Amino acid sequence: MSRTHRVAALLSLAAIAAAASSLGLAQAPPSRIDLNAWKIPAIEALPDSPDSRLIRHGHALVTETFAHIGPEVPDPAKRFAGNNLSCQSCHLNGGSQAFAMPYLGVWGSFPQYRARENEVSTIEERVNGCMERSMNGRPLPLDSPQMKAMLAYFRFMSTGVPVGGQLIGAGTTPIREPDRAADPQRGAKVYEEQCAVCHGADGLGVRNGKVGDAKGYQFPPLWGPDSYNTGAGMSRLLTAAAFVRANMPFGVTHKEATLSDDDAYDVAAYVNAQPRPVKPDLDKDFPDRSRKPVDAAFPPYVQGFSAEQHRLGPFNPIRAKLRELNEAARKKN
Ligand code: HEC
Ligand code: HEC
């Protein structure tokens, strides 16, 4: 099926669902689920079966990605990831941690509209988004054993989470944005005091073993050749600040976050000002420009704003301009 056909098919499914609900055929009201309190299904308790083996393989793939599909695995055909991070470097604790982009419930939240592609995308496409950007690698074939195992793991992690429920703790939680540009120099101080002890003064992290042995990191790199690339969600200031405030220094959770909003804003600016692999063709992202995030710091830029302001803020003036442009476009149509 072509992309347009697929989208059309999904839209007509949505129409059927809407019709069903107007006939009173469907559904209890959507529930609110607090993922902080969600009981994580226990992998160890799974019986031995083909299904369980698939789920366990999925768990291994997301927690030790470098050992299975990393750039240092012996079989070149399996080198899908371009760096030695694991999915868990960001999706903490095997994707079970609230506000660290957990996998809990993701099974039921796809297909979903994504502004980056301006299309409805599937969970497989989302995984490959992280493969090509966060992991700086190449996409996993849809019918590959690795993709199947990851999907089985996501479905397992979503067991019992109602589809359509409101999930508290999904994604990350935004910082309260300071009304100023981020200050990377101030961020450098925060980095030195709060991050360098684990991630290294040079940001290159600490390996578990030696270069070439596919053992990944004790503390992952935050920049340099083995880090996420310039197209990754984490390379955007507000995404990185939100993740860092809720989850770093490692061990905190968003409930007892220790960094201030200002510190998270500045340290994220410092980290993302450092060199990292460059994703080609970023100008093709967000084909509907009106939906491009204000902190996507690559061209084309919103009329009247500099690359620097997209990189560091302040973002409210950009949002105001976008509203104005969208309003004008609506009136013209
Ligand atoms: C460098 C950090 C990082 C790494 C490593 C990473 N991701 Fe992500 N991932 C993110 C961020 C940030 C988001 C959400 C924000 C965005 O980019 O839209 C996300 C979103 C996702 C989502 C959608 C979650 C949702 O709630 O809709 C899935 C699924 C996912 N990633 C899978 C993976 C898999 C599988 C891997 C490993 C192959 C991986 N990610 C590696 C940062 C990362
Ligand atoms: C106590 C050690 C420790 C400290 C201090 C710490 N981190 Fe981390 N950080 C980690 C670990 C460990 C991970 C990966 C988690 C995993 O693999 O399970 C991580 C992951 C990350 C990631 C996502 C993965 C990547 O490589 O990009 C970012 C971004 C990050 N930390 C930023 C920071 C920032 C900014 C600070 C300072 C405010 C900080 N960390 C302080 C240990 C630490």
Using one digit for the tens of pLDDT, what is the confidence trace for 157-169?
999 998 888 999 9
Judged by its nearest atom, the ligand closest to the C-alpha of residue 127 is: 1
pLDDT for position 227:
98
Own/partner contacts of 286-293, CB < 8 Å, gap of 24 or more, are: 286/115, 286/116, 286/118, 287/117, 287/118, 288/115, 288/118, 290/322, 290/325, 290/326, 290/329, 291/115, 291/118, 292/115, 293/115, 293/236, 293/238
CA 12–ligand 2 middle distance (angstroms): 43
Three-state SS for 98-135 is CCCCCCCCHHHHCCEEECCCCEEECHHHHHHHHHHCCC
User: Which of 114, 121, 133, 134, when mutated, tests ligand 1's pocket best, judged by the most ligand atoms within 8 Å of its CB?
Assistant: 134
Closest CA to 147 of 130, 166, 133: 130
pLDDT for position 158:
94
Quick check: CB of 195 below 6 Å from ligand 1? Answer: no
Nearest alpha carbon, ligand 2 atom 10? 250
For the CA of 89, the closest atom of ligand 2 is 17
Nearest alpha carbon, ligand 2 atom 15? 89
Quick check: CB of 171 below 6 Å from ligand 1? Answer: yes
User: Which of 38, 57, 66, 91, when mutated, tests ligand 1's pocket best, judged by the most ligand atoms within 8 Å of its CB?
Assistant: 91
Beta bridge partners, 112, equal: 121
pLDDT for position 27:
53
Q: What are phi and psi of 22, to 5 degrees?
A: -70, -20
Nearest alpha carbon, ligand 2 atom 32? 244
pLDDT for position 48:
94
For the CA of 264, the closest atom of ligand 2 is 38
pLDDT for position 1:
45
Q: What is the per-residue DSSP string for 178-224?
A: -SS---HHHHHHHHHHHTHHHH-TTS--EESS-TTS---EEE--SSS
CA 119 to chain centre: 17
Quick check: CB of 92 below 6 Å from ligand 2? Answer: yes
pLDDT for position 302:
85
pLDDT for position 313:
96
CA 250–ligand 2 middle distance (angstroms): 6
Quick check: CB of 244 below 6 Å from ligand 2? Answer: yes
Quick check: CB of 130 below 6 Å from ligand 1? Answer: yes
What does pTM read for this prediction?
0.92
The percent of residues in the chain predicted with pLDDT above 90, rounded, is 74
Quick check: CB of 229 below 6 Å from ligand 2? Answer: no
d(CA 272, CA 235): 6
Is the pLDDT at 230 greater than 80, yes or no? yes
pLDDT for position 30:
65
Contact 32, 165 (CB under 8 A): yes
Tens-digit pLDDT profile for residues 26-60: 555 568 999 998 888 899 999 999 999 999 999 99
Quick check: CB of 150 below 6 Å from ligand 1? Answer: yes
What sign does the dihedral 286-288-289-293 (CA atoms) show? Answer: negative
Tens-digit pLDDT profile for residues 53-104: 999 999 999 999 999 999 999 999 999 999 999 999 999 999 999 999 999 9
Is the pLDDT at 11 greater than 60, yes or no? no
Could you give the 3-state DSSP secondary structure of residue 142? Answer: coil
d(CA 91, CA 97): 7
User: Which of 195, 207, 229, 243, when mutated, tests ligand 2's pocket best, judged by the most ligand atoms within 8 Å of its CB?
Assistant: 195
d(CA 221, CA 46): 34
Tens-digit pLDDT profile for residues 250-297: 999 888 999 999 999 999 999 999 999 999 999 999 988 888 999 999
CA 304–ligand 1 middle distance (angstroms): 32
Q: What is the per-residue DSSP string for 249-318?
A: TBTB-GGG--S-HHHHHHHHHHHHTS--PPPTTGGGS-SSGGGS-TT--SSSPPTT--HHHHHH---HHH
Q: Cα–Cα distances in Å, from 260 out to 14, 48, 160, 178, 244?
A: 42, 46, 35, 10, 10
Quick check: CB of 321 below 6 Å from ligand 1? Answer: no
d(CA 62, CA 87): 5
Report residue 20's pLDDT band, with 50, 70 and 90 as the boundaries.
Answer: very low
The percent of residues in the chain predicted with pLDDT above 70, rounded, is 91
Quick check: CB of 20 below 6 Å from ligand 2? Answer: no
| Domains defined for the chain, CATH in brackets | 34-168 (1.10.760.10), 184-272 (1.10.760.10)
Quick check: CB of 228 below 6 Å from ligand 1? Answer: yes
